[in-house]
């Protein structure tokens, strides 16, 4: 990092000094995100015994990115700042600052060359995906070289080589990859989009020594010779025929050391089959998905666990819920093994009415029940002033698997209603009422929210998530989890502040999950773009 910063600074000074001279040819843009938390001890909800509650009382994360483009040349640099942050370790504290991302990119005819950090994906991401999810504290950027060559208007090939980012450093293992995507117009109503992907990861000597020492500590019958290299392949296509769209991808990875469910290194290959079939026409749409995963663990090395060093992304097989209580439980992707399918349908019988139904079903490879969700809602928007949404959710959630604790299976039933009142184009009111009935975890909750918006500047909301029927094994107290929120938007700047009491739980996004402890205190955020 000490070498990178001096190398970047002259480039930034050059941009600043010459911006006026080349403004007619170049484009300067950027964005800022700053999140500040003020921690207030609250033993009633378990918001205690972390460095923030005991000593520091504040934590901050901030990202400032600047982009510059001129004559087919693009440059980006991002400053990352963390002060007493619990983003990476919910029960810890991290402080650090520096260049968290930079990229230089140039178009040379049909070839695009990029160096530095970049985000890229092959197919649906099963073999390789580098991406960022700040809400979960994830930044899977690749540091290296990324090449893209446009063979024809319908075919493109990508090649990359690099290492995965690890905060302000990088994981030592290296990987290389190739990806080809194409388009074949079979007829006016039929299109085929084929593709193929390849990834090779090679671990470093230090990582190999650690793996070998771990294996040598096992009984002789459980030992094996670990491999430096793993190879992953996938082939996929999308077939569009009139109102139908069919996507299929099959992936395979060679033998390597992976950590099994008992935390023991084993020598296994892996595979994934994923397919999605959709039909859509005016007023009706339906999508079915199927996925089978077996030992498809693809990390920078076998030594990494949880969300560390993940090189790929296996699409989740569940609905992404946004309402507070229906979103409390979500299944994390099981890389070691799962058999899953999902059906999602929308129907508009007439203007102003929309019906949505969803069912998701996940088992392990031994047919043990992991997850079930049945979700339905009806939205009534025939009036420009009054809008209504009514629905309900049933969830079966295997806590022993998804939380890795000896907990009983959870069943939750959650009816909900939402009402929006728009007296004019500038003002709107929104109200939510949700009730979640369960005997497990923290027990049953009721959630109420009132929100008032004055477009395009102000937004106010107040909510309460009340533990109306607590599970005595977790708590005997009926606790209120309040949230008071205000935001103000002016031009490209948005300021928000909230006082929050938040129950401990699992936060998930796209099948990737992390534990978040209880929170009590203030949250301030600023987002800006230029």
- Asked if residue 5 has pLDDT above 60, the reply is no
Give me the mean pLDDT over the 467-477 stretch.
92
Alpha carbon 297 to its chain's center: 17
Residue 472 bridge partners (DSSP): none
Model pLDDT for residues 382-406, shown as the tens digit of each residue: 999 999 999 999 999 999 999 988 9
Distance from the first to the final alpha carbon of the chain: 27
Pairs from 357-366 (Cβ < 8 Å, separation ≥ 24): 358/319, 360/317, 360/318, 360/319, 362/317, 362/318, 362/331, 362/334, 362/338, 363/338, 363/339, 364/334, 364/337, 364/338, 364/339, 364/401, 365/292, 365/294, 365/337, 365/338, 365/339
- Asked if residue 19 has pLDDT above 90, the reply is no
Confidence bin at 8 (pLDDT 50/70/90)? low
Q: pTM of the full predicted structure?
A: 0.90
On whether the CB atoms of residues 332 and 397 are closer than 8 A, the answer is no
Mean pLDDT estimate for the chain: 93
pLDDT value, residue 474:
87
Q: Is 476 exposed, middle or buried (CB count within 10 Å of its CB: 0-12, 13-18, 19+)? A: exposed
Smallest Cα–Cα separation from 273: which of 255, 258, 253, 252? 252
pLDDT value, residue 72:
87
Write down the residue that tokens 């930034």 correspond to: 12
Q: Which phi and psi (to 5°) does residue 171 adopt?
A: -65, 140
For 423, the 3-state DSSP assignment is coil
Structure tokens at 93: 């504290």
Smallest Cα–Cα separation from 416: which of 439, 441, 435, 397? 435
H-type helices in 116-264, by residue range? Answer: 205-216
- Asked if residue 336 has pLDDT above 80, the reply is yes
Cβ neighbour number for residue 377 with a 10 Å cutoff: 19
Confidence bin at 21 (pLDDT 50/70/90)? very low
Domain ranges of the chain: 109-266+296-315
pLDDT value, residue 14:
46
Give me the mean pLDDT over the 33-37 stretch.
97
CA distances from 50 to 35, 54, 88, 322, 404 (A): 19, 6, 14, 29, 22
On whether the CB atoms of residues 264 and 222 are closer than 8 A, the answer is yes
Structure tokens at 497: 């502040």
Model pLDDT for residues 190-240, shown as the tens digit of each residue: 999 999 999 999 999 999 999 999 999 999 999 999 999 999 999 999 999
Model pLDDT for residues 274-331, shown as the tens digit of each residue: 999 999 999 999 999 999 999 999 999 999 998 999 999 999 999 999 999 999 999 9
Alpha carbon 499 to its chain's center: 25
Give me the mean pLDDT over the 78-94 stretch.
94
Rounded CA separation 409/407 (Å) = 7
Sign of the alpha-carbon torsion through 374, 500, 63, 174: negative
Give me the mean pLDDT over the 50-71 stretch.
95
Rounded CA separation 18/499 (Å) = 44
Query: Nearest 5 degrees, angle CA 304-CA 263-CA 259?
Result: 50
Q: Which phi and psi (to 5°) does residue 202 adopt?
A: -120, 120
Structure tokens at 443: 């027990």
Q: Is 465 exposed, middle or buried (CB count within 10 Å of its CB: 0-12, 13-18, 19+)? A: buried
On whether the CB atoms of residues 8 and 16 are closer than 8 A, the answer is no
pLDDT value, residue 475:
85
Burial per residue of 238-253, b for 16 or more beta-carbon CB atoms within 10 angstroms, e otherwise: bbbeeeebebebebbb
pLDDT value, residue 509:
83
Give me the mean pLDDT over the 107-114 stretch.
95
Helix (H) or strand (E) holding 402: helix 399-402
Structure tokens at 383: 């009036």
Give me the mean pLDDT over the 431-457 stretch.
97
Structure tokens at 516: 């978040």
pLDDT value, residue 23:
47
Write down the residue that tokens 């004559």 correspond to: 71
- Asked if residue 516 has pLDDT above 90, the reply is no
Model pLDDT for residues 360-390, shown as the tens digit of each residue: 999 999 999 999 999 999 999 999 999 999 9
Percent of the chain with pLDDT over 90: 90
Q: Which phi and psi (to 5°) does residue 213 adopt?
A: -65, -35
Alpha carbon 444 to its chain's center: 27
């Amino acid at each position: 990092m000490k070498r990178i910063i001096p190398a970047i600074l002259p480039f930034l000074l050059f941009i600043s000094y010459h911006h006026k001279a080349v403004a007619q040819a170049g484009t300067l843009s950027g964005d800022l995100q700053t999140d500040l938390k003020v921690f207030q001890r609250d033993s009633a909800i378990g918001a205690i015994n972390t460095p923030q509650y005991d000593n520091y009382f504040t934590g901050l994360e901030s990202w400032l990115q600047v982009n510059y483009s001129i004559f087919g040349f693009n440059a980006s640099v991002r400053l990352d700042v963390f002060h007493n942050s619990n983003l990476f370790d919910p029960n810890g504290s991290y402080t650090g600052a520096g260049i968290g991302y930079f990229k230089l990119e140039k178009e040379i005819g049909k070839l695009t060359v990029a160096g530095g950090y970049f985000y890229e994906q092959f197919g649906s991401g099963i073999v390789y995906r580098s991406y960022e999810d700040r809400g979960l504290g994830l930044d899977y950027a690749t540091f290296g070289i990324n090449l893209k060559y446009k063979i024809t208007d319908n075919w493109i090939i990508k090649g990359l080589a690099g290492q995965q980012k690890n905060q302000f450093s990088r994981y030592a293992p290296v990987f290389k990859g190739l990806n080809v995507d194409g388009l074949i117009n079979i007829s006016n109503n039929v299109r085929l989009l084929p593709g193929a992907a390849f990834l090779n990861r090679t671990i470093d000597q230090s990582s190999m020594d650690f793996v070998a020492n771990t294996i040598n500590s096992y009984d002789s019958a459980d030992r094996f010779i670990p491999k430096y290299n793993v190879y992953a392949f996938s082939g996929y296509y999308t077939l569009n025929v009139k109102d139908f769209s069919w996507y299929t991808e099959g992936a395979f990875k060679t033998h390597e050391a992976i950590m099994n469910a008992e935390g023991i290194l084993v020598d296994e290959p892996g595979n994934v089959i994923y397919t999605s079939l959709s039909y859509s026409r005016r007023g009706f749409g339906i999508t079915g998905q199927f996925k089978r995963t077996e030992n498809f663990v693809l990390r920078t090395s076998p030594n990494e666990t949880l969300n560390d060093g993940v090189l790929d992304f296996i699409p989740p097989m569940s609905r992404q819920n946004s309402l507070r209580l229906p979103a409390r439980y979500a299944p994390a992707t099981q890389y070691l093994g799962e058999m899953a399918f999902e059906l999602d349908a929308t129907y508009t019988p007439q203007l102003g009415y929309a019906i949505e139904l969803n069912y998701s079903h996940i088992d392990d490879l031994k047919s043990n029940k992991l997850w079930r969700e049945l979700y339905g809602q009806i939205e009534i928007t025939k009036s420009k002033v009054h809008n209504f949404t009514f629905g309900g959710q049933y969830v079966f959630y295997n806590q022993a698997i998804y939380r890795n604790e000896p907990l009983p299976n959870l069943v939750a039933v959650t009816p909900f209603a939402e009402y929006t009142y728009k007296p004019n184009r500038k003002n709107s009111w929104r109200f939510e009422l949700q009730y979640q009935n369960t005997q497990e975890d923290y027990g049953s909750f009721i959630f109420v929210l009132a929100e008032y918006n004055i477009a395009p500047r102000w937004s106010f909301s107040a909510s309460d998530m009340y533990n109306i029927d607590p599970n005595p094994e977790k708590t005997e107290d009926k606790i209120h989890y309040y949230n008071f929120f205000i935001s103000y938007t002016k031009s490209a700047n948005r300021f928000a502040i909230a006082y929050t009491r938040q129950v401990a739980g699992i936060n998930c996004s796209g099948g990737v999950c992390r534990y978040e402890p209880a929170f009590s205190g203030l949250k301030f955020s600023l987002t800006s773009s230029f």
